[in-house]
Structure 1
Amino acid sequence: MYFKSIFFEDYIAESKRVTLGRTITETDFVVHAGHTGDFFPHHMDAEWCKTQPFKQRIAHGTMIFSIGIGLTASEINPEAFSKGYDRLRFVKPVFIGDTIHAVVTIAEKTDSKKPEYGTVIEHVDIINQHGEVVLVCDHILLAKRKPESNSNGDSPK
């Protein structure tokens, strides 16, 4: 992980970045259930799940969101900060043993209410090892604009 200053002007519409993958484990299920208190049988009861349509335990959607977004944190941009996520959808189930990765696409750039910032929308697809999208969301960033240069090309003091 490293720090890299990326200003609003540096974001390029439709550019993409792809993360490394991460395999989902039973330990992930147990730890997430403990953190959230979500011990629903869909996630924790293997025998009950055998009687259900998927025939196996399904990952907590919130866990896949957390892990998937965590995969995108391979770069830290000190010139932008998250305002949150919109249009979050759990598209397909994720199971123990599935490997997910994220594809981040710069979907939109707009002016912000604060003139020294711009808003960047990163569309995030979380994809399993079969190439299927399992989760989608839009990440809203507030990104600082580049400091204006003076006439001799130097940054203002």
Structure 2
Amino acid sequence: MFAKLYFEDYTEGDTRETSGRTITETDIVLHAGQTGDFFPHHMDAEWCKTQPFRERIAHGTLIFSVAVGMTASLINEVAFSYGYDRLRFIKPVFIGDTIKVKVTIKEKKPYKKPGMGFVTELVEVFNQKQECVMICEHIMLAQLKPV
């Protein structure tokens, strides 16, 4: 879906939420292959039984990637992603956990280039128990409405 959401179209405090997505063993195995991260925390079920979490955990970068993809439901022709700040993995995500994402417009501020502004979104990822498992800020650069 295509849209034109200008800087002025974003309102601080507005929220949107995604539907759920269950993290599978296949997700973890594919992510390990793509990144080269085969640490035992993700891949070795027997070793994990000897650790505090007692089972394999999903890569934090996997949860970040999936969460970002879950929020990408709109192609905005007048804004683009500038990056992500303050990324934190709060709790582990296990095989079989279902995550949902809540996005809140946190802040708007001018950009040094005329005609542009920063929109900061707070991105919160929750598991099926409503526990926050990951948080970050997504910064977008959006055009101001033409005069």
The residue aligned with 1:28 is 27
SS at match of 1:59: coil
SS at match of 1:119: strand
Deviation at 1:75, TM superposition (A): 1.2
Higher mean Cα deviation, 41-50 or 69-78? 69-78
2:42 pairs with 1:67: no
Deviation at 1:81, TM superposition (A): 0.5
Per-residue deviation, residues 37-69 of structure 1 (Å, max 9, x unmatched): 000000000000001001100000000000011
Long gaps (5+) in structure 1: 149-157
Counterparts of 1:41 and 1:142 in 2: how far apart (Å)? 39
SS at match of 1:138: strand
The residue aligned with 1:96 is 95
Q: TM-score, normalised by structure 1?
A: 0.92
The residue aligned with 1:5 is 4
SS at match of 1:57: coil
Deviation at 1:88, TM superposition (A): 0.2
Paired AA for residue 69 in structure 2: G
Counterparts of 1:125 and 1:99 in 2: how far apart (Å)? 14
Deviation at 1:101, TM superposition (A): 1.0
The residue aligned with 1:142 is 141
SS at match of 1:124: strand
Percent identity between the aligned chains?
Answer: 65
Counterparts of 1:109 and 1:60 in 2: how far apart (Å)? 31
Report the RMSD for the aligned CA atoms in angstroms: 0.5
Paired AA for residue 95 in structure 1: F
Counterparts of 1:75 and 1:17 in 2: how far apart (Å)? 12
The residue aligned with 1:154 is none
Q: Rg bigger for which structure? A: 1
Long gaps (5+) in structure 2: none
Counterparts of 2:125 and 2:46 in 1: how far apart (Å)? 28
Instruction: Number of aligned residue pairs: give it.
Output: 147
Per-residue deviation, residues 7-50 of structure 1 (Å, max 9, x unmatched): 00000001000011110000000000000000000000000000
Deviation at 1:76, TM superposition (A): 1.4
Mapping of residues 37-76 of structure 1, within 5 Å: 37-76=36-75
